[in-house]
Structure formats: C-alpha cells, structure tokens
Amino acid sequence: MPRPGQRRPGESVPTVIPIGDPGDPRLEVFRRLRDRDVVGRGGGFIAEGEVVVRALARGALHQAECLLLAERRVNRLAPVIARLGPRVAVYSASQAVMDEIVGFPIHRGILAFGRRGRTPAAGDLLAELEGPAIVLALFGIANHDNMGGILRNAAAFGARAVLLGADCCDPFYRKAIRVSVGAALTLPIAHLAADEDIVRLLARHGFAPLALSPTGETPLRDLDAPARAAVMLGAEGPGLPAAILSRAHTIRIPMSGGLDSLNVATTSGIVLHHLASRAGQSEVAGAGPIVI
C-alpha cells in the first residue's frame, strides 16, 4: 500500500502549467506574499523552499493545493510533483515573472500553497500518544523565528506533539514554517484553550510537567528522563506563568558569565537532547529526519 503522499500506481504526474502573465488570477494565493503574511490566509499557508515543500509532500497532516516554481526548479522538483498527484496544480514561470507575482525576489524559486488539516483538541492529541513520549507545551512564544526554531528542535529530538497556548504566534506563518525547515508541517500541533489547566491536563494523560525557569529547583544535568515528559517553555523575559511554575517540576540550565537564561529556541534544543539522550535514544523517532 502506498505511504501517505506517495503516488498510487496508475496515477498520472501533474501537468506543469507555464505562466507568462504575472496577473494570472490562478496565482492569487501567491500574490504579495509579505502583505498576505500580515493579514493571514485563513486555513491556508505558504511553504517556501525545496526542503519545506518536500516535507509537505511526504507528510500526511496537511494538503498541498498548488505549486509555483521558477522554470529552473521544475526538473529538480519532478519527484515531488509526481508524489503530490494530479489534483495539485503545478505552475512554472520565469524568475522575473515569479518575483513580480510575490512582490520581492524569491531566490529559492519554490512555493506551495497548502491547507491545514485537522486541528485536534489538546486532550485528544495527548490521548493518542501511547507509551514513552516527549511533548512540548509553549506559552507566549510570539516570535516566528523562535517558533520555527523550537519546532525544528522538536522534530530533531523526537517530540511527538506540540501544545500551543492561546498567546503563541501562528506556527503556519510563512517564516515560522521556513525556519522550522518543514517541521511545522509534520509535527502534530494542538491549541490549548485560554482557560485550560495545562498541569491538570498533562497529569490526566500521564505526563510529568517539566517547567524551564532560570530559578528552577533541579539543574538539567541532574534530571532523569520521565517516560512521559512534557517540556514547558515560556517567552523570553516573562517566562512561564506563576500558576504553572508553582505546580510543575522546575528545571534550570546552569550557565556562567553572569547570564541566567538562553534564547528559548536554544533552550528547547538543549532540554530535548538531554531527555532523548537519557531515554537511550541514539536516533530519536518522531516526525522524521530533517535534511538540509
């Protein structure tokens, strides 16, 4: 049986449609990308670059609707085009036409427009995770670079789900997807309700809540990896809410030089690597390998 996203026997490869007019209405979803990033795209998102579009093609959580490729990129992307199947429209244009469509020089020359799949409730997502597992719970992460970096680390170190507080930025923002090198499209993500009690929710599903804080009670090096661990991270500066810190196992990363904290994406990588290593996972299983 073909894997998700793999072309089935007998399915035809999509026809690549040449575009010469930058005003072609079929390309409206790619027009003025920076402006669209500001106002949002409803249930859609833009995947940019070869690595990210390949992640979208091989994933099963979200669906590509159309591609826009610079003419020089078509041959290289042929396997991706074939995997997506005939229901995905594929357009190609000269670099100059493509730049005019998106509103700035798009050097990568590879764009896809996709639709978000099902967004499960946080409790439903946790209930689907059997056995040992690492999950992330994020609060106040408003910077898209940080969001993308955290998701990249989550995929690299085998996190099986990400829970987002109501005050987090959109992980499907174009820059967040790009910085995550496609992990935003392959990781299961759920949103927490504004009044949801995350500590109680985690306990209900057997996850140990580990809250990162400069004043945490346990140095990270002394932390044994729980079989089911939930790493909770807050925004740089304010950190996690007191209501979470007072009820979770607080963890700190000792450091020198008069510093007491790291960039939150860096922190996520250090903590996730520690947990994966302590769990004996030399190669962690999760959303799949990240290839750059």
Task: Please report, for the domain that includes residue 110, its CATH number.
Answer: 3.30.1330.30
pLDDT for 288: 38
In a domain, 172, yes or no: yes
In a domain, 2, yes or no: no
Q: What is the pTM of this model?
A: 0.88
* Domain shared by 50 and 184, yes or no: no
Q: Measured between alpha carbons, how far is 158 from 271 in angstroms, rounded to an integer?
A: 12
* Domain shared by 130 and 35, yes or no: no
pLDDT for 72: 94
* Domain shared by 81 and 153, yes or no: no
Mean pLDDT, residues 160-176? 95
* Domain shared by 272 and 143, yes or no: yes
In a domain, 43, yes or no: yes
* Domain shared by 273 and 132, yes or no: yes
Which amino acid is residue 264, in one-letter code? Answer: V
Burial of 254 from C-beta contacts in 10 A (0-12 / 13-18 / 19+): exposed
* Domain shared by 68 and 154, yes or no: no
pLDDT for 1: 37
The domain boundary, picked from 100, 115, 130, lies at 115
Total domains present in the chain: 2
* Under 8 Å between Cβ of 64 and 114: yes
Assign 162 a pLDDT band (cuts: 50, 70, 90).
Answer: very high
Mean pLDDT, residues 203-222? 96
Sign of the C-alpha dihedral, residues 201, 207, 211, 217? positive
Sign of the C-alpha dihedral, residues 192, 198, 204, 206? positive
* Domain shared by 107 and 165, yes or no: no
Cβ atoms < 10 Å from Cβ of 237: 8
In a domain, 291, yes or no: no
Q: Is the pLDDT of residue 35 over 80?
A: no
In a domain, 6, yes or no: no
Domain that holds residue 193: 122-278
Assign 74 a pLDDT band (cuts: 50, 70, 90).
Answer: very high
The domain boundary, picked from 115, 135, 160, lies at 115
Q: Which residue has the tokens 């402006």?
A: 35
